[in-house]
Amino acid sequence: MSYAGKNLKYIRKQREWTQEEMANQLQIKRSLVGAYEEERAAPRLEVQEAICTLFNISLEEFLFQDLSEKNASGEGGSKTSNSYLERRRSMKSDKSNNLSQIVPFVPVKAAAGYLAGYADPEFLDELNTFTLPMLAPGDYRAFEIIGDSMLPTPSGSVIVGEKVESFIHVKNSNTYIVVSNSDGVVYKRIITNDDHKEKLTLLSDNPLYEPYQVNTQDIVEIWKAVYIIHKAGSQPMWNVDQLAGVVSSLQDQISTMKRTMN
């Protein structure tokens, strides 16, 4: 029996690497890492050798020994809770005893897989985390955003959001991370002009982008923005011509929204 797939997954998580990060280290496609770990395919000999070199283990250990059992055995054969997932889950479950809130982080490179994995505990356990002591108790997640649709919030900012459990708690004109089947992960300002909230209007802060509507049935998660993190000096500056264009575009959008609401 070969333990290659199980061992690959175990040692990757011991390093706290995502499948994408492991693939980069081995110079192979991320989908191959998933196939190896799920034992849908066996790694080629050159990949096995690269793994053994990377993690300083022998080929015999990688193929024929259960490394999770080996590393969990202490002196006298006793078991210790030593796996990466167990340590992370224990840390997350101990939030009540920790003054700092633990926040899972969804980078841009993981956003594509987030729609499929947002409810999968194993996917979430693979996300890196950080802590913010100023957060009140709650369920938080952080998302990296790219693009200029929410200027002056710069591309590359990290939005820390608190989970919104129901559409009735969405407040008009506030900013949210919206996860939907149609658009994936987006950061927008929500306009709730529908009393029954069957549709939400998503508005960009950059007036060069047109607002659009999304059906609430298409939305799987909403996170209310509570903090924005970005690099010092990355805040963009508007010049006079840009500001004039912004004002003109805002006036047009307000006129259009008034006609729509009437």
Neighbour-count burial for 96-105, b at 16+ CB within 10 Å, e otherwise: eeeeebbbbe
Q: Which domain holds residue 32?
A: 4-82
CATH code of the domain in which 178 resides = 2.10.109.10
Whether residue 69 contacts residue 10, with contact meaning beta carbons closer than 8 Å, is answered with no
Number of domains in the chain: 2
CB-based contact 223:163 (threshold 8 Å):
yes
Cα 232 off chain centre by: 22
**77, 108: one domain:** no
- What is the SS3 assignment for 16-71? CCCHHHHHHHHCCCHHHHHHHHCCCCCCCHHHHHHHHHHHCCCHHHHHHCCHHHHH
89 belongs to a structural domain:
no
- Closest residue by Cα to residue 6 from 55, 49, 68: 68
Same domain, 145 and 222: yes
User: pLDDT digits over 118-148, tens only?
Assistant: 888 888 888 888 888 888 888 999 999 999 9
pTM score, whole prediction: 0.58
Q: Give the Cα separation of 132 and 61 in Å (integer).
A: 40
pLDDT 10s digits, 217-244: 999 999 999 999 998 876 665 555 656 6
The closest alpha carbon to 12, from 28, 39, 33, belongs to 33
Residue type, 225: A
Q: Residue 252 pLDDT more than 80? A: no
